[in-house]
Amino acid sequence: MATRARPLRADAERSVRAILEAAERVLAGNPAASMEQIAEAAGVARTTIHRRFASRQALLGAMAETAVRQLGEAIEASRPEAVPPVVALHQITANVLRVKVNWAFALNQQDEPDSPTARAQEEIARRCLELLGRAQRDGMLDADADLAWVRRVYYALIGETLHGEDARTDPDVLAARIVDTLLNGSGPRLR
C-alpha cells in the first residue's frame, strides 16, 4: 500500500522553496558548489538542507521536479485547447521561456529514463505534438511536415534564444520571434 507524504507546514514549504531557488542560482554559477554554499545562499543551516534532502542527488531531483512541474503549469496556464493554435503557441512559448530562465540548471540535468520527471517531460512533448498537429490541420504548417522534426526545431529555437543575449528580452517579444521563425522561416515574405 502506497503512503502519501504529509504536506509540509507553510514555514517548511518556504524553506524548501528557498533552498531549491538558491540551489538553482548557486549551481548555475558553480555546478560543483557544496551543500554548505547552497545553505548559505538560501539563508538556512546546512542541517536544514540535509533534513529536507537526503543527498545532493535528492536535491537535484527535487529541483528538476519543481522545474518540470512549473513547465507543465505554464503550459496549462496558456489554455492550449481553448484558443487558436497560434495564440496557444505564442503564450506557451512566452510562459516556457519565463520558467526556463529561472530553472536553466535544473532543466539541463539528465533524468533517469523512467523517473517522474522524465515522464512529465514526455507528457509535455506529447502535448506539444498535439498542438503542432492542430496548427498543421489549420494550415499553419505544411500538410507533409514531420511534426516530430518541427517539435525538435521549436525546442531548438527556444534553447538558442535562452543561450544568447536575447534571454533578457521580454518573453512575449521573444515568443513572437520564435513562433514567427517556426511558422514562416527566415526567408523573405512572399506576397
Domain boundaries, the chain: 11-53, 63-184
1 pLDDT more than 50: no
157 pLDDT more than 60: yes
CATH fold label, 11-53: Arc Repressor Mutant, subunit A (1.10.10)
Q: Which residue has the cell 499553419?
A: 140
Q: Which residue has the cell 548559505?
A: 40
Contact 15, 52 (CB under 8 A): yes
May I ask the CATH class of domain 63-184?
mainly alpha
pLDDT value, residue 29:
94
Between helix 10-29 and helix 35-42 the angle, nearest 10°, is 120
3 pLDDT more than 60: no
8 pLDDT more than 90: no
Chain centroid to Cα 108, Å, comes to 10
pLDDT value, residue 4:
47
Cell of 57: 542527488
Contact 84, 138 (CB under 8 A): yes
Rounded CA-CA distance 130/169 in Å is 28
Contact 150, 182 (CB under 8 A): yes
Closest to 40 (Cα-Cα) out of 58, 24, 19: 19
Q: How much of the chain, in percent, has pLDDT values that exceed 90?
A: 73
Tell me the three state secondary structure of residue 39. helix
Rounded CA-CA distance 104/116 in Å is 19
Mean pLDDT across the chain, nearest whole number?
A: 89
Residue of 68 and 11 predicted with greater confidence: 68
CB atoms within 10 A of CB 36: 11
Domains 11-53 and 63-184 equal at CATH topology level: no
Contact 32, 81 (CB under 8 A): no
Chain centroid to Cα 70, Å, comes to 7
Whether the model clears a pTM of 0.95, i.e. scores above it, the answer is: no
pLDDT value, residue 44:
92
pLDDT value, residue 7:
57
143 pLDDT more than 60: yes
pLDDT value, residue 2:
43
Question: What is the arithmetic mean of pLDDT over 14-18?
Answer: 89
Range with lowest mean pLDDT among 1-5, 168-172, 179-183: 1-5
